[in-house]
Amino acid sequence: MSRLLLPSSLIVIAGSLVALWVGQPQAAERLAPVGDATKKAPFEPLGVSSCASMACHHGNGERGSVGSEYSTWVAVDPHAKAYGSLYKPESIRMHEIMAKDDKVLLETGAHGNPLCLQCHGMGKAAPEAQHADGVGCERCHGNAEKWKATHYQNGFDRTKDGFVDLRMLPVRVETCVKCHVGDASGDVDHDLIAAGHPRLRFEYAAYYANYPKHWAEVTEGEKKNKSKDDEVCGWLLGQIVSARCAAELLAHRATNKPDSWPEFAEFDCAACHHGLAPPNFRNERDLELAKKAKPGEKIPLGRMPYGTWYNPLLPTLAGATKIDREKFDASRERLDKLMRKNVPSKAMVSTEAKTFAEELRVWEKAVADRSFDPTETRALIKVLAGRKDTVDSGWDGGTQVYLGLAALHHGLMDLDQKQKPFREHLLNMRKTLGDAYPKGAKARPRYDVPSDYHPAPLTTSLKKILEHLESKNATRD
User: For residue 360, what pLDDT is reported?
Assistant: 95
User: For residue 316, what pLDDT is reported?
Assistant: 86
The total number of structural domains that make up the chain: 1
- Does residue 210 belong to any structural domain of this protein? yes
User: For residue 220, what pLDDT is reported?
Assistant: 52
> How many angstroms separate the CA atoms of 28 and 97, rounded?
9
> How many angstroms separate the CA atoms of 246 and 475, rounded?
39
Range of the domain at 308: 1-17+165-477
User: For residue 269, what pLDDT is reported?
Assistant: 86
User: For residue 5, what pLDDT is reported?
Assistant: 52
| 10-residue mean pLDDT series, the chain (477 residues) | 49 34 32 40 85 88 88 93 94 94 91 93 87 92 92 90 91 94 93 91 94 79 50 93 97 88 90 76 74 67 85 87 85 93 93 96 87 90 94 94 96 85 94 89 76 92 94 69
User: For residue 468, what pLDDT is reported?
Assistant: 92
> How many angstroms separate the CA atoms of 407 and 229, rounded?
13
| Distance set, CA 235 to CA 143, 398, 410 (Å) | 28, 16, 11
Q: How many residues does this entry show for the chain?
A: 477
Of 475, 470, 378, 372, the C-alpha closest to 417 is: 475
- Does residue 60 belong to any structural domain of this protein? no
Enter the pTM of the model.
0.87
Cβ–Cβ under 8 Å, residues 409 and 374: no
User: For residue 18, what pLDDT is reported?
Assistant: 24
- Does residue 33 belong to any structural domain of this protein? no
- Does residue 151 belong to any structural domain of this protein? no
- Does residue 96 belong to any structural domain of this protein? no
- Does residue 460 belong to any structural domain of this protein? yes
- Does residue 7 belong to any structural domain of this protein? yes
User: For residue 293, what pLDDT is reported?
Assistant: 67
| Distance set, CA 318 to CA 149, 231, 240, 313, 324 (Å) | 44, 18, 10, 9, 9
User: For residue 301, what pLDDT is reported?
Assistant: 66
- Does residue 74 belong to any structural domain of this protein? no
